[in-house]
Amino acid sequence: MDNILIILSGLIYTNKIMYNQAYKLAHYLKGNVSIKTLQVIDDTDIENNHTIIFMFPISSQTIPSCMLEYMKKNETLMNNKNIYSVLYCDEYETDYCDYADEILSLYCTKTHALYKGSLKIGAYFLLDHIPYTWRVSNTLKSFASDIKKEKESARDITFFSKNQFIKEGNKFWKKAYKSKK
C-alpha cells in the first residue's frame, strides 16, 4: 500500500465533524496516512501520495465551492492517482450524494485519475450527538479494507431507522432551542 492522503474538503466550520471520522479512517488504513484540510494543502502533498481520499459534506446535493475551486486549479496533479471519497449529507437518504459522486467520477476521467468509489454517510449532523456511531465505524473499517486492497468501493450508511432519525433530530433541536434561551 502506497502513501495515502485524506483531505478534509469542506469549509472550515464543517470539518469539525469530519475530523473524528478522518482519524478513524486513518487508523483503519494503518500505514503512511496523512490528514490535511483543503485550506493548508500544497502541491507536494498531492505529488507524494498515490491515493487521495476527499472527505466533504454535500452542499445542495453537490460538491462544496471551495473544493470545486481546488479541483479546477489542480487538475494536472491528479494524473494516475487513486481517488476515493467520503460524502456526508445532512439528509437521511444517502442518494443526495449521487450528484457529487458523479461529478467526482467525471473529474477523475478528465484528469486521468482512477475514481475508485465512495462511502456515503447520511444524517451526518447527528453523528456526534448519538450513540449509534459504531455502525459508521464498522462501515469505515470495511471502506478502509477496500482502499488498502485498491478495490472499487460503493458503500453507504444511514446508521439508524427513519423513526430513530426523527426522534434523535427532535431531541437535538429541543436541546439547541433550550440552550439559546
Residues of the domain holding 162: 4-180
DSSP 2: -
Closest by CA to 77, choosing from 102, 108, 103, is 108
- What pLDDT, on a 0 to 100 scale, did the predictor assign at position 16? 72
What per-residue confidence (pLDDT) applies to 160? 64
Number of domains observed in the structure of the chain = 1
Instruction: Count the helices and strands in the chain (H runs, E runs).
Output: 6, 6
Better-scored residue on pLDDT, 135 or 23:
23
Average pLDDT over residues 29-43: 89
Q: What is the pLDDT of residue 130?
A: 60
Question: Which bin fits 108, alpha (ψ -120 to 50), beta or left (φ > 0)?
Answer: alpha
Q: Which of 13-22, 56-65, 70-79 has the highest mean pLDDT?
A: 70-79
Q: What is the pLDDT of residues 116-162, one digit of tens each?
A: 999 998 877 666 666 556 677 788 899 999 999 999 888 877 766 67
Q: Which backbone phi and psi does 150 adopt, to 5 degrees?
A: 55, 35
d(CA 67, CA 7): 10
pLDDT of residue 4: 95
Look up the CATH number of the domain holding residue 41: 3.40.50.360
**Residue 1 confidence (pLDDT) above 60:** no
